[in-house]
A and B are shown apart, each in its own frame.
Chain A
Amino acid sequence: MVAPARIAALTRLRCSIFQTSYNPTSVRTGAKYLRARLRGPSMAQYYPAALNLSQLAREFPELEIVDPDEEQRIQDVEDKKKRGKGAPKKAKSKADSRRATRKK
């Protein structure tokens, strides 16, 4: 029969030799949050980089890049306005609001 104190001493010595921390009561030290590798960098590059025309146009206005999708959208809005299907005018007061005329 070996005394518990002897076993504890042995464990402490073993920890000092193999450079592990002596933690006989298994207290949570939170070390695993520091030990784990950072996952952000690999997470951030999951999607392949896509060319963004509108962003390019905003960054380099001197190149005068035309975004066909944006042109089409503006054209569609103009067409809708001509047919009277544009966005309603902003209400000046609470009474003008379209919400006021809505059925309860």
Chain B
Amino acid sequence: MPNIRVLRDIKARELVRANEVARRAYLYVARNQALPPQVRHQAQLQLNTFGRYTRPTTVKNRCHETGRGRGIMSEFGLCRFQFRLKALKGELPGVQKASW
């Protein structure tokens, strides 16, 4: 069972995906300097009504195994310690302990 932070992150990812097209449309209107300022302002106000977890910046890559939020190796989606454990067990293809 993933911990609450991972569950929250999963929720955020789903909401980002669901609202992405609408948000992009409003962003286009709000950032378009060719449009009248009133329209742009209305679009910005609409953008502000979206929930907290619909912004892509709230999404954080967490460890697949432990849910840790720091020290993630994005290539494997694991935190540094889980990466080490799995690599030593030989569960990560192509990863080898350095020795020279």
Chain B interface main SS type = helix
B77 — which chain A residues lie within 8 A by C-beta? 46-47
> Contact flags (1/0) for B3-34 with A, using CB distance below 8 Å?
00010011001101110110010011111111
- Interface of A (DSSP majority class): loop
User: What's the Cα separation between A43 and B10 when bound, in Å?
Assistant: 9
Interface assignment of B56: CB less than 8 Å from any CB of chain A:
yes
Q: Mark A28-53, 1 if CB is under 8 A from B, else 0.
A: 11110110101111011011101000
> In this assembly, does B59 line the interface, its C-beta being within 8 Å of a C-beta of chain A?
yes
- Residue A69 lies at the interface, judged by CB distance under 8 Å to chain B: yes
| Residues in chain B within 8 A of chain A (CB atoms) | 1-2, 6, 9-10, 13-14, 16-18, 20-21, 24, 27-34, 56, 59, 61, 64, 77
Q: Offer 27 A-B interface pairs, CB within 8 angstroms, sorted by A.
A: A27-B33, A28-B32, A28-B33, A29-B32, A29-B33, A30-B28, A30-B29, A30-B30, A31-B28, A33-B24, A33-B31, A34-B24, A39-B16, A39-B20, A40-B13, A40-B17, A40-B18, A40-B20, A40-B56, A43-B16, A43-B17, A44-B14, A47-B2, A47-B9, A47-B77, A48-B64, A50-B2
